[in-house]
């Protein structure tokens, strides 16, 4: 398994969802903000507990999570 030292999984924190350094900042929230166009600098300003490497590791973690998954597209999505 790939190691993500900044993203421990703890069932006692946020129901075991992947969080940054055990804090209550979920990886899915970080990725969602980035997908919505929020910049790294904005995230760092909005969440002072975050570090730049936290955000970059969240992106790597997201890529790792989806790397082994196959997504079936409906034919209408292909047009």
Q: What is the pLDDT of residue 3?
A: 87
User: pLDDT for 36-61, tens place per residue?
Assistant: 999 999 999 999 999 999 999 999 99
By the 8 A CB rule, do 6 and 22 touch?
Answer: no
Confirm or reject CATH 3.40.630.30 for domain 1-65, answering yes or no: no
Q: What is the pLDDT of residue 68?
A: 79
Give me the residue spans of the domains in the chain: 1-65
Give 10-78 as a DSSP string. Answer: -TTSGGG--BGGGSS-BHHHHHHHHHTT--HHHHHHH-TT--HHHHHHHHHHHHHHHHT---PPPGGGG
């Amino acid at each position: 398994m790939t190691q993500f030292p900044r993203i421990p999984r703890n069932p006692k924190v946020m129901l075991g969802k992947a969080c940054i350094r055990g804090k209550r900042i979920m990886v899915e929230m970080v990725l969602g903000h980035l997908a919505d166009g929020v910049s790294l600098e904005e995230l760092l300003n909005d969440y002072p507990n975050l570090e730049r490497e936290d955000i970059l590791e969240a992106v790597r973690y997201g890529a790792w999570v989806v790397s082994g998954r196959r997504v079936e597209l409906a034919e209408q999505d292909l047009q």
